[in-house]
Structure 1
């Protein structure tokens, strides 16, 4: 999967507040080591250490992942105050309160051994009504989108289509389309469990199914389940 890179959307904060953020992050981590906490967040240990050192600040989606793993408020983690205070300080634009904005990533994030989006860039944000997401049981902070490259999932998904990923669904449930990483590459494929392991299935019959045996399942990383797609007719 490839896409032209855009600019990454960093959380905008006063750099003088880095020390305060680092302290809140340490509180959120509790007694966990950077390695253990990184696994809980589905981020790389290097990313967590970078935040702890003050070298970098997490992007909005990673901030939400950290807050969710630590069971703390993302507003408190980022700024040190509650959602109510945040609303008073940074009110939402009039008429946009009913919308959630999901990051669309440059899918060149497949390389490397860190988190799936460790080296990715946010191209833009897709807007969804909060009502439509809520009806599907989806949480905006746990969603992201990427674009498909290649014809292996035709006619269901075409090259250039955008898919929405639910990062809370990393356990294979029956048969569905998942975004996965294998051998440092991202794929959108159907996954099916059987007694031998997990079968990776392409919709395009020119591509043969691939079975990841049970003793190698640790090499298969399920990023999340595809829950929506769109593309040009």
Structure 2
């Protein structure tokens, strides 16, 4: 993971941490630090440490987003409404980019469970958001068109060692021109795979990094009707084991 590309921990002063923890208690309907630690699935000491250090782990906010549909912008700043569905319906002023929330220097990109719809020529993801990851606005601007960015989870081992099963990639859906050797998300029928791309006259070549088990695949014109280049992978991340 590149330095300063994501915001894995929220750094604030002590008062701001108290405010964020207070908002978390509000949406969880708890009053004590012990109850809060239990529902966040962390030790009570973790709450105390967060207050002392002036840091809120981003995992706490993402967990709340997944479990409770909590708006991360509201948790961090108090702006808007507590829940994402309400945010979408009533506070559209915070929607700088469609499907993306922003706060100060950060843009929240959705991690989606996505399927490609060849019939509609779209990436279906609106109702399958797992969570949001915060990226620095200026860093994203250098990577492509922010409004067209989505995070996808890698499945399978075809791109080992570059990408492993369950890694996360940031895809810019606006970048669909083939660049030889670059990594793209590709829709095949209603499934999505992550591959390097090459091209020959009239042929698209899908290349896996794990070539011993997954040889290159040539897609000829007659077989390309249900193959779509969804977007270019511009960033990747892996959880530490």
Look up the match of 2:232.
225
Higher strand share: 2
The alignment status of 1:64 with 2:129, answered yes or no, reads no
- Does the Cα contact within 8 Å between 1:182 and 1:221 map onto a contact in 2? yes
Aligned to 2:174: 168
TM-score, normalised with respect to structure 2: 0.56
Show the counterpart of 1:215. 222
Are residues 119 and 126 of structure 1, via their aligned partners in 2, closer, same or farther at CA, if it must alter by over 3 Å? closer
Structure 2 spans left out of the alignment, 5+ residues: 1-65, 70-83
Please, what TM-score do these two structures have when normalized by structure 1?
Answer: 0.57
Show the counterpart of 1:123: 130
Partner SS, residue 131 of structure 1? helix
Q: C-alpha root-mean-square deviation of aligned residues, in Å? A: 2.9
- C-alpha distance in structure 2 between counterparts of 1:174 and 1:230, whole Å: 22
Q: How many residues align?
A: 153
Deviation at 1:120, TM superposition (A): 5.0
> Rg larger in 1 or in 2?
2
Give the corresponding residue for 1:185: 191
Moved over 4 A (4+): 6-11
**Residue segments in structure 1 that go unaligned for 5+ positions in a row:** 1-5, 15-59, 66-73, 75-91
Supply the distance in 2 between the matched residues of 1:220 and 1:119 (Cα, whole angstroms): 21
Q: Distance in 2 between matches of 1:217 and 1:173?
A: 18
Which of the pair has the greater relative contact order for Cα pairs under 8 Å at 6+ separation?
A: 1
**Contact 1:106-1:122 within 8 A present in 2 as well:** yes
